Structure 1
Amino acid sequence: MKKHIPNLITLLNLFCGCIAVVFAASDELIIAAFFVFLGIFFDFFDGLAARKLKVQSELGLQLDSLADMVTSGLVPGLVMFQLLSSVEGVVGLSIVNSVGEFTQWRGFKVGLLPFIGFLITLASAYRLANFNIDERQTTSFIGLPTPANALLVLSLPLILEFQSNDLFRDIILNKWFLIGMTLLSSFLLNANLPLFALKFKTWGFKENAIRYIFLIACVLLLALLQFVAIPLIILLYVLMSLFDKTSNTQHPIPKNGL
């Protein structure tokens, strides 16, 4: 029975991703972001449960990537599609009020530009497939993990909703910024960059110094800057990894389900 616990947690990640897709398609990006964050929470603990219960499996690895493809791959692409649609001044995907027991889809027109957002989804799919077969993945990731990239993209509507000012709106609601963010995140997902993993095999400070320092910095940044801190945290993650001498140490990374 215990062998199914990690996979059940992974399926909760996928379930949250499915709900997030529905809300993102309805242009309810804040609710979608909440369910993505919840899915990422489950994504962190499924691998931990698998290792603690010693029920690692190939099935768990594959299931984890499939769940991440929805929660951290499809949803960010759809969110970027909606943001680009709003910048273009066209109606993206949306759902009108229910009529009786039925929900009707409203017709929409959209240019080609918003579909650029789905480059994030394509890059996420390639990154996840490559991760499952890439033997270089050791104590470091190669390229930005999909959950981290999802947090980066989902931070944009959260900033607009809760910390909006003229400066932030002018930056985020600029199509060139959104295109640049799309291309940057797609590149980072598959870049040959060794990034340390937030996986703790032990709790000692010496062997996990960079992880503890990073987590403390995250807490401070979030307390001070709230959602604006998320892009800065991703930048800090990349910069700290570049200066981390242990990122390329050849020890198996504890992939989820393995």
Structure 2
Amino acid sequence: MKKQIPNALTLLNLLCGCIATILAVNSNFVSAAIFVFLGIFFDFFDGFAARKLNVQSELGLQLDSLADMVTSGLVPGIFMYKLLSLTVDMPEISNDWDSIVRFEGFKIATLPLLGLLITLASAYRLAQFNIDEDQQGFFKGLPTPANTLLIISIPLIIEFQNSDAINAIILNKWFLIGLTFLSCYLLNSGIKLFALKFKNYSFKDNAIRYVFIILCIVLLIVLQFAAIPIIILLYIIMSVLDNSTSK
């Protein structure tokens, strides 16, 4: 029975991702973000539970990636699609039942579709992760949950930071396009990033993890949602410096 506990947590991640998808499609960014946060929470603890209960399995690995594909692959792609849609004149789409069934009058703007590149890049990254046996104590490229936090932070910054200057930058289509391509690159780059997995809890063996967590807490308290992009940048910089020191 205990071997199903991690799988149950993974399925809760998937459920949260499905709900977040529905909310994101309807441009309910804040509620969608809440379910993404919940999904990432379950995603972290399913692996933790599997290690603690010593019930790691190939099924769990595959199920985890399938759940991540929704919560941390499809959802950020939809977020970026909707954000890019705000920067262009979208064609009117009829909600009449007959037109929906018969595909009459259906139109779509092409530029926002670039946002779905994040979903494709996430799928490729997750598939690579499943067959890469080297990524045990580290990640190669930005993990999909971290990338998702980066993307979903954009509408949250707009909603809660209340800065016209920041909003003007964020809602610029070139900024969003650049962020999309940067996201795709980081997901599948060869940059080695440390994992937040603790084999023990000594400060000596996990100094970089403890320092990173403390800095994250401070940044979130001071900057709120605007801290998330800075935290992702900090994560990359600290990993690169750690790699240089190790060499």
Q: Say whether residues 1:149 and 2:147 are aligned partners.
A: yes
Report the counterpart of residue 184 of structure 2 in structure 1. Answer: 186
Q: Give yes or no for contact 2:192–2:243 (8 Å, CA) kept in 1.
A: no
Report the counterpart of residue 125 of structure 2 in structure 1. Answer: 127
Report the counterpart of residue 137 of structure 1 in structure 2. Answer: 135
Q: Say whether residues 1:165 and 2:156 are aligned partners.
A: no
Structure 2 residue matching 1:240: 3-state secondary structure: helix
Name structure 2 gaps, 5 residues minimum.
Answer: 97-104
Name the aligned partner's letter for residue 138 of structure 1. Answer: Q
Q: Say whether residues 1:42 and 2:42 are aligned partners.
A: yes
Query: What is the CA-CA distance between 1:136 and the residue it aligns to?
Result: 2.5
Query: What is the CA-CA distance between 1:161 and the residue it aligns to?
Result: 0.5
Q: Give yes or no for contact 1:143–1:194 (8 Å, CA) kept in 2.
A: yes
Structure 1 residue matching 2:139: 3-state secondary structure: strand
Query: What is the CA-CA distance between 1:125 and the residue it aligns to?
Result: 0.1
156-165 or 142-151, which moves further after superposition?
156-165
Q: Give yes or no for contact 2:17–2:70 (8 Å, CA) kept in 1.
A: yes
Q: Say whether residues 1:230 and 2:241 are aligned partners.
A: no
Q: Give yes or no for contact 1:241–1:247 (8 Å, CA) kept in 2.
A: no
Query: What is the CA-CA distance between 1:108 and the residue it aligns to?
Result: 6.6
Q: How many residues align?
A: 240
Name the aligned partner's letter for residue 77 of structure 1. Answer: G
CA distance in 1, matches of 2:245, 2:74: 28
Report the counterpart of residue 197 of structure 1 in structure 2. Answer: 195
Report the counterpart of residue 101 of structure 1 in structure 2. Answer: none
Q: Which has the higher contact order (CA 8 A, sep 6+)?
A: 1
Name structure 1 gaps, 5 residues minimum.
Answer: 97-106, 250-258
Q: Give yes or no for contact 2:17–2:36 (8 Å, CA) kept in 1.
A: yes
Name the aligned partner's letter for residue 145 of structure 1. Answer: P
Report the counterpart of residue 57 of structure 2 in structure 1. Answer: 57
TM-score, normalised with respect to structure 1:
0.88
Q: Say whether residues 1:242 and 2:236 are aligned partners.
A: no
Distance 1:158 1:75, change over 3 A: same
CA distance in 1, matches of 2:131, 2:190: 15
Deviation digits for residues 110-169 of structure 1, max 9, x if unmatched? Answer: 311000000000000000000000122131100000000000000000001111211111
Distance 1:167 1:128, change over 3 A: same
CA distance in 2, matches of 1:49, 1:228: 31
Query: What is the CA-CA distance between 1:109 and the residue it aligns to?
Result: 3.9
Name the aligned partner's letter for residue 235 of structure 1. Answer: L
Report the counterpart of residue 214 of structure 2 in structure 1. Answer: 216
Q: Give yes or no for contact 1:82–1:93 (8 Å, CA) kept in 2.
A: no
Report the counterpart of residue 21 of structure 2 in structure 1. Answer: 21
Structure 1 residue matching 2:190: 3-state secondary structure: coil
CA distance in 2, matches of 1:162, 1:84: 19
Query: What is the CA-CA distance between 1:234 and the residue it aligns to?
Result: 0.0
Query: What is the CA-CA distance between 1:246 and the residue it aligns to?
Result: 8.6
CA distance in 2, matches of 1:135, 1:4: 24
Q: Give yes or no for contact 1:26–1:93 (8 Å, CA) kept in 2.
A: no
CA distance in 2, matches of 1:35, 1:93: 28
Query: What is the CA-CA distance between 1:30 and the residue it aligns to?
Result: 1.1
CA distance in 2, matches of 1:248, 1:88: 47
Name the aligned partner's letter for residue 129 of structure 1. Answer: A
Distance 1:93 1:183, change over 3 A: farther
Structure 1 residue matching 2:46: 3-state secondary structure: helix
Q: Give yes or no for contact 1:81–1:114 (8 Å, CA) kept in 2.
A: yes
| Higher helix fraction (1 or 2) | 2
CA distance in 2, matches of 1:175, 1:114: 9
Report the counterpart of residue 82 of structure 1 in structure 2. Answer: 82
Report the counterpart of residue 70 of structure 1 in structure 2. Answer: 70
CA distance in 1, matches of 2:65, 2:52: 20
Report the counterpart of residue 30 of structure 1 in structure 2. Answer: 30
Structure 2 residue matching 1:195: 3-state secondary structure: strand
Q: Say whether residues 1:9 and 2:9 are aligned partners.
A: yes
